[in-house]
Chain A
Amino acid sequence: MATWAECAIGTILALLALGGGVTGSILVLLGPLGGLHLALDPVSALFLLVVCGTGAAAALECELPLLPVAVGALVVTLLAADGFILVLAFALASIALAPEWRGRSGLRFMAGGLLCLAAAVALLAPRNSGIDLRFAAMRSAAPEGLRAAAVLLLVLIGTGLHLISPSRPSPGGALLSGGKIAVAIYILVRVLFDLCGPAAPSWWGLPLLVIGAGTMVLAGLRANAADDLLAALGASRIGAVGLIAVGLGVAMTARGSDLASLSALTLAGALLHGVSYAVFDVLLVLCTGAVSRGAGSAVLSQLGGLIRSMPAVGMGALVGAACLAGLPLTAGFPGRWLVLQSLLAEPHPSRLWWHVVLALALAAVAFGSALQAAAAVRLVGIGFLGRPRTPQAAAAEDAPRPVRLMIAALAGSCMLIGLSPSALLALVQPALAQLLGVRLDGGRLLVIAAQADAPGYAALGIAAMLALAGGVVAWTLRQFANPAASRVPAWDGGMDAAPVGLLFGASATQYSAASAGLTVLQSFGYPAWRSNMQRWLKVSTALLQRRGAAGLGGALLLVLLGLLLWAVA
């Protein structure tokens, strides 16, 4: 209940800020380190929407005792207007989520990440008048040179550690980790676009771009290799973070090269993708929760045929997977389309390395999206279609009414976003204006486009044409076609149907989850890189687990180095 109240308050605040432009300080407590400040601006409002949505869904799924504290701390992180509160609230949220960590490596990831963030905040604070951690003070004294590079490195490591920290494989954990990922991205945006000021050099986008592109491909492969729904969704979530990172990187470099409109285009794409991804990610995680309760498992090889035994959940998963696949007219398309447009658009920074990296990023985005789509098709095709693979899947019951309603509402919003992305773009525009000083001028009523007068993506127009074409086909068939149809056992080359007593005896003749993933993975040379990957994983886990102290020590060393730089520069 407390969580829902928090989420409701947060959502109202966010809508007020985005709709009416009610922004500004909420709370100021004077004290040490420049005082404690909470404030609301369009950027935090946008992320507030996402976090409150995921938090509310998590309250439905999860019986974590400290859930209100965790969600509250995440909300406060977003509202923080000084570095102290930002790090403190984020640390509190991480601690409250402790039962969701997997093993002790979660603790190390979190501790290392927080240390790096704290060091970055410390480096950002201006040094002239004591230690002032207020955002306003940081904006006025943007870091330069080595100090700026150290901030970038620390923020990337800090948020990165939070992004990849493993969590317990439960639907609630997945939702909360989704919320945490949103906050980590918020910190990235806040620090790199806002606090570091508009004068960041253009190469700043490069690390983000490269990391994001690599992440997309690896996460896509991982999503195809995953053998349960939650793991596949988790990998896809990381893939979406990759796309957002690519967008942020391009936006960063464009801003550094004084190409404000290109920067706005890309950032709009990244933020739009983030917000819409959050919607269908929550939808898919709720469906997964319903499946693991209804069918007793979320492991793909034990599911099958759920669309008939759980119609509402199946429908929700179908909509969610279509979005995940990034098909046109779904919520997954407009953000990706905008990011792609920014890679295709003119003018661009005129540097050769930039174009090489850009083309590489486009290829990575393309492969990542296609792998994501393959994973989405496999998810629905194996999990929800075909024949049940276990008696539990055959006897699965649909989700209870509240969950069904929530799924319906989320699926509806996915369709709305898909059909009129301009509405969602309108929510993103204030944040763009705040961060870059410009709005995306291609966001028209029915069309989103790269420039104000260029042809673009008209979702409603395409949808109308599709509906018209479908209608014409249906009408033609009514006129000419044989209206009958009958159900028979699927043709199996003349073999007999499975005997009556053997309900699942022939289920081995159905395509399997592992085979569907392997076919795609094998084309990427799977058995060869698996062994290398395992060796690498072993080394890195050893570093993280057995040499945990070394990892923490490394983070500490980085912090000390940062402080040293701060003192010297």
Chain B
Amino acid sequence: MIALASLVLHAALMMTSAPLLAGLRALARARLLGRAGPSLIQPWRDLARLVRKHPVLPDTASWLFTCVPFVCLAAAIVAALLVPSFALGMLTAPLSDLVVLAGLLALARYALALAGYDTGTGLGGMGATRITLVAVWGEPAVLLIILVLASLAGSSNLDAIGTTLSEQPQGVLWFAAGVALAIVGFMLTGPGRDAAQLTLVHEAAMFDYSGRYLAMVAYAGQLGILVWLSLLAALFIPSGMASGGAGLMAWALGIVAWGLKVGALGVCLAVLEALAAGPGITRVPMVLGMTALLMWLAAVFVLASQRLA
């Protein structure tokens, strides 16, 4: 019962705060660049506006094009339900395998890539190919991070890793894995920037969506970033998180702590976006490959030190 209640509360939190996080990022970035910036709830207003609009679809696209937003959004929602926010031991805890979580996010990504190809335009195909390019380099890095985490915690289940972590603090490798996850997430989610058409990745693949379909895809993207930041918060800054059977007071504390952590990470993301133009798509493989290599070394070290000891 408690597990169900925490799941419902968690779902409500994630669903409402994903666009708010996007709003916070836009606001922080605008302030850093010396502008007033949009309101915090502007993304919610945009979603509502898009949902009410009359969508147009490219006449070259097949039925798949209208299915993809549902797949993307459903996969992002399930991923959001699997990642703990303020408390461990939710109803979905036994399902939250990290490999499955990575697979769900990959499902959303590849579905969007197919939609890009389905428009039959050069831009859509370019975006789709870039999505697969980033995935080819990003997913191995993700798996190596999972290997390090799973070796440290003895399981690839997210809840089990979280529980292990709250019981015993971890060392420098844990920190390295956190940094690696931050980098890889930044590359894979590809937060939207005000960029020219030719430098886009995900936005190029979803270029021909409009109306409610665009709202769904955009919302899925916002959820994806929230999932990534919550994962970082849950695994690497676990302080304040309520344990499995904790009471309401611990929940309240957990919610406040989660909000602060995710908000701070979102502001960090905005600073990063404002500081640099972001690496061009030609450099993404190199960055991800380096991350994967570092994680591989970390994995060898973890395996050697833990399993040989």
Chain A residues close to B by CB (< 8 Å): 304-305, 307-308, 314, 318, 325-329, 333, 337, 340-341, 343-344, 346-348, 350-352, 355-356, 358-360, 362-363, 365-367, 369-371, 373-374, 377-378, 380-382, 385-387, 447, 454-458, 461-462, 465-467, 469-470, 472-474, 477, 480-482, 484-492, 509-512, 515-516, 519-520, 523
Which residues in B have their C-beta under 8 angstroms from that of A326?
A: 103
Interface of A is mostly: helix
Cβ B128 vs Cβ A381 within 8 A? yes
Question: Is A491 touching B147 in the complex (CB atoms < 8 A)?
Answer: no
On whether the beta carbons of A490 and B130 are closer than 8 Å, the reply is no
Q: How far is the CB of B4 from chain A (nearest CB, A)?
A: 14
Docked pose: A477 CA to B50 CA in angstroms? 11
Contact B132 A367 (CB under 8 A): no
Would you mind naming 29 contact pairs between A and B with Cβ atoms under 8 Å apart?
A: A308-B62, A328-B104, A355-B300, A367-B136, A370-B136, A370-B137, A373-B132, A377-B132, A380-B117, A385-B114, A386-B120, A454-B155, A455-B159, A457-B100, A462-B104, A469-B78, A469-B81, A470-B73, A477-B212, A477-B216, A482-B51, A484-B55, A485-B66, A490-B208, A492-B121, A515-B125, A516-B129, A516-B132, A523-B137
Tell me whether chain B's interface is mostly helix, strand or loop, or mixed: helix
Quote the shortest CB–CB distance from B240 to chain A (angstroms). Answer: 24
Instruction: Output the nearest chain A residue to B51 by Cβ-Cβ distance.
Output: A481
Given the known inter-chain contacts A469-B73, A473-B74, A523-B136, please indicate yes or no for A386 contacting B119, CB distance below 8 A: yes
B101-136 residues with Cβ-Cβ distance < 8 A to A are: 103-104, 106-107, 110, 113-114, 116-122, 124-126, 128-130, 132-133, 135-136
Kindly list 4 other residue pairs between chains A and B, CB separation below 8 angstroms, not including A347-B307, A385-B118.
A308-B62, A370-B135, A486-B56, A511-B126
A485 in contact with B54 given A454-B155, A458-B95, A491-B208 (CB within 8 Å): yes
What residues on A are CB-neighbors of B75 within 8 Å?
466
Partner of A474, one of B60, B70, B99, B106: B70
List B contacts of A465 (CB < 8 A). 78, 81, 92, 95
- Judge whether B248 is part of the interface by a CB distance below 8 angstroms: no
| Count class of interface residues, chain B | 35 or more
Partner of A523, one of B48, B51, B117, B285: B285
B157 engages A454 (CB within 8 Å): yes
User: When each residue 188-214 of chain B gets 1 if its CB lies under 8 Å from chain A and 0 otherwise, what string results?
Assistant: 000000000000000000011001100
By a CB distance below 8 angstroms, the chain A residues around B77 are 469, 472-473
Whether A462 contacts B211 by the Cβ 8 Å rule is no
Residues 35-59 of chain B: 1 if any A CB is under 8 Å from the residue's CB, otherwise 0? Answer: 0000000000000100111111111
A482 touches B140 (CB 8 A): no
Q: Say yes or no for B22: interface residue by CB 8 A criterion.
A: no
- B27 beta carbon closer than 8 Å to chain A: no
- Is B70 a contact partner of A455 (Cβ separation < 8 A)? no
Query: Which residues of B are in contact with A by a Cβ distance under 8 Å?
Result: 48, 51-64, 66, 70-71, 73-75, 77-78, 81, 92-97, 99-100, 103-104, 106-107, 110, 113-114, 116-122, 124-126, 128-130, 132-133, 135-140, 143-144, 146-147, 150-151, 154-157, 159-160, 207-208, 211-212, 216, 285, 292, 296, 299-300, 303-304, 307-308
